[in-house]
């Protein structure tokens, strides 16, 4: 048997802390979303809805966030770290580096438009934090943005 010492907080106090933590997170997300150039066209109300539904995810250096060919239902905004976007070249089975993305950049819209298949790999090249948005919220809150819906990658796209 060991002696245990516990600290306890009451319901009221716990709920106040949870509420404040949520409010602080929400304010932090709002500030961040307002700093993303592509989201400048979104209203305060839309940004607030986004901040409500976003989920924070974390990745280690080298971890695949998105894998080419896999099905996907989520849109990502990078809030911390760097990622590499790569693509398998069907001609020679080699992996081509397309670009590097960092804080404020986003990806994953392709699988949410038309076919639900990921068209490139996105690999963490650092400790990465992403804010993830589900297909439904993407559709309602983000897909109307020209920047996102008309994003072209012709410069680097590998053709079969």
Residues that bind ligand 6J7 (CB under 6 A): 66, 72, 85, 98-99, 101, 107-111, 118-120, 122, 153, 156-157
Shortest CB 2 distance to ligand 6J7, Å: 51
Give whichever of 50 and 98 is closer to ligand 6J7, judged by the CB atom: 98
Q: Tokens representing 98? A: 């397309």
Give whichever of 22 and 90 is closer to ligand 6J7, judged by the CB atom: 90
Give whichever of 48 and 68 is closer to ligand 6J7, judged by the CB atom: 68
Give whichever of 31 and 157 is closer to ligand 6J7, judged by the CB atom: 157
C-alpha span between 32 and 29 (Å, rounded): 5
Shortest CB 108 distance to ligand 6J7, Å: 4
Shortest CB 83 distance to ligand 6J7, Å: 8
C-alpha span between 47 and 33 (Å, rounded): 7
């Amino acid at each position: 048997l060991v002696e245990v010492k516990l600290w306890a907080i009451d319901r009221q106090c716990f709920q106040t802390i949870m509420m404040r933590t949520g409010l602080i997170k929400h304010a932090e997300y709002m500030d961040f979303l307002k700093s993303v150039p592509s989201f400048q066209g979104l209203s305060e109300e839309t940004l607030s809805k986004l901040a409500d539904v976003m989920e924070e995810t974390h990745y280690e250096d080298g971890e695949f966030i998105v894998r080419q060919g896999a099905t996907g239902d989520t849109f990502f905004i990078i809030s911390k770290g760097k990622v590499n976007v790569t693509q398998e070249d069907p001609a020679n089975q080699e992996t081509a580096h397309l670009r590097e993305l960092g804080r404020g950049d986003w990806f994953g819209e392709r699988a949410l438009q038309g076919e639900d298949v990921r068209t490139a790999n996105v690999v963490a090249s650092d400790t990465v934090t992403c804010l993830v948005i589900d297909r439904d919220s993407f559709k309602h809150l983000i897909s109307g943005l020209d920047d996102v819906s008309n994003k072209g990658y012709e410069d680097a796209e590998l053709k079969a």
